[in-house]
Amino acid sequence: SQNIYILGIESSCDDTAASIIYNGRILSNVIASQKIHEEYGGVVPELASRAHQQNIVPVVHQALEKASITKDELHAIAFTKGPGLMGSLLVGTSFAKSLAYGLNIPLIDVNHMQGHILAHYIDEDGYKKPPFPFLAMTISGGHTQIVKVDHYFDMTVIGETIDDAVGEAFDKSGKILGLGYPAGPEIDKRAALGNPKAFKFTKPKVDGLNFSFSGFKTAVLYFIQREVKANPNFIEENLNDICASIQYTIIGILMDKLKLATKQTGINHIAIGGGVSANSGIRKALKDGEQKFGWTTYIPKFEFTTDNAAMIAIVGYLKFLDGDFAEQNVVASARLKI
Ligand code: KG4
Ligand code: ZN
């Protein structure tokens, strides 16, 4: 049984995605990102589920086509069960269930957060997979976690945000500065041109390995309001420096917690995932940690860090090998835990 084709489907937030994986290697990784949310400055759940309904059939068709297989060659269908927006999850879940039923093949439910972490086990030439145990830091617009990973399905969350996700800290700061949504990529670009020590923002005090970003966003808001009162052109005149200082503070918060996590666990292998791991400052800080703290870091290809279906398909493949299947009556779960 060594020629296994798995279809992975992801629809937890605002990306409709499908991927075909063959024995751990990606044959296709198709994603339809929903532009509609940009004009609202954030994801609108009702619009997201409607767009998923429009996108899901063409996206799955494209994934099969790009992989040069037909649906009759599939061995199983993996889908995101949660966590995520309920209306969005329902679209992927019901689609996966009916397709698996129609093809009479197994259905595999996948935890989105495990997907971000196990994306590191996609077979890719030249990519070194993290050895167990390792620490995974999952940072995106919806999540911020540090997870101790002892084996594929033996994971423990050892730290997480108590309010906003780190991606929200980027996006909400960007909104205050008048940048488009999502603002993370533009802050990243501008930060490279600015002075990270131009302005100082205090880091939140949160015990242990947990994070908090809502106070940071408020600090940025008050700082900008104060400065703009004194000088209406403050933002335009200092945009790169403001972006650099915001990013510098966020990186400091993340690195402090990672340092504490490696100290507490004695684990020095660090893997990252989630859209925010695209940030060039974070990538550099992690690489610098290899020299400074003796870390070994694992940074996947960009297309596997943001929400995608290849990460769902690889979890599906690993569960398929374990014979770990879902029942036909499985339901989506918005607050699913690792
Ligand atoms: O994983 P993702 O695509 O979707 C979620 O699950 O949220 O992550 C999207 C988040 C957004 O907050 C976006 O601003 C952020 O990732 N992001 C970045 C960068 N690229 C994307 N944040 C900082 N720097 C970047 N280069
Ligand atoms: Zn995600």
Q: Mean pLDDT in runs of 10 for the chain (338 residues)?
A: 90 94 97 84 86 95 98 98 96 98 98 97 95 97 95 98 97 96 96 98 94 96 98 98 98 98 98 95 97 96 92 98 97 95
Residue of minimum CA distance from atom 20 in ligand 1 = 185
User: Any binding-site annotation on 323?
Assistant: no
For the chain, the structural domain boundaries read 5-120+305-322, 129-299
Q: How many residues are given for the chain?
A: 338
User: Any binding-site annotation on 52?
Assistant: no
Q: 116: Cβ–Cβ under 8 A, 6 or more apart, which residues?
A: 136, 138, 140, 143, 273, 274, 305, 311
Answer whether 184 contacts ligand 1 (Cβ < 6 A).
yes
Superfamily of domain 129-299: ATPase, nucleotide binding domain (3.30.420.40)
What pLDDT sits at residue 12?
94
| Complex ipTM tops 0.85 | yes
- pLDDT tens digit sequence for 234-289: 999 999 999 999 999 999 999 999 999 999 999 999 999 999 999 999 999 999 99
Q: 176: Cβ–Cβ under 8 A, 6 or more apart, which residues?
A: 217, 220, 221, 224
Ligand nearest to the CA of 179: 1
Nearest to 251, CA basis, from 292, 282, 228, 224: 282
User: Any binding-site annotation on 269?
Assistant: no
Answer whether 307 contacts ligand 1 (Cβ < 6 A).
yes
In the chain, % helix, strand, coil (3-state, to 5) comes to: 50, 20, 30
CATH 3.30.565.10 fits 5-120+305-322, yes or no: no
What pLDDT sits at residue 35?
80
